[in-house]
Amino acid sequence: MGTTKFILAGAAVVTMLASNAFAEDMTGMITRIDRLNGTISIQQTQKGTVGASTGNAGALQEYKAKDAAMLDAVHAGDRVSYTATETNGTGTLTKLQKQK
């Protein structure tokens, strides 16, 4: 009985971690880059076509780059896909890729 509870608890943890990983991948447009401080502001865009013609913009977020070199390949106005984490209320950009 104790082994079954342990296995079910482990499965629940794995499921939660997997669902969080999928939720973190986002797309948006860069509105500002501060290379001196290693920060970037991104206007998040909604995925899919629902409401795409309304022109409503997503939330504007400012992130600290995990590695300042990430910011060298992008400019304001670029559309990007990115992954970010939040620690103590501060967003940290962990992946940044310019969309073609």
Q: Where are the domains of the chain?
A: 26-98
Residue 2 has pLDDT above 80, yes or no: no
Q: How do residues 20-59 score in pLDDT, each as one tens digit? A: 433 368 999 999 999 999 999 999 987 665 555 545 567 8
Instruction: Output the pLDDT for position 88.
Output: 82
Report the C-alpha gap between 32 and 48 in whole angstroms. Answer: 25
pLDDT the model gives residue 18:
42
CATH of 26-98, one of 3.40.50, 3.30.70, 2.60.40, 2.40.50: 2.40.50
Task: Choose the most confident range, by mean pLDDT, from 5-9, 12-16, 19-23, 38-42.
Answer: 38-42
Quick: pLDDT tens for 71-81: 999 999 999 99
CA distance 85 to 90: 8
The pTM score is 0.66
Please give the pLDDT value at position 66: 92
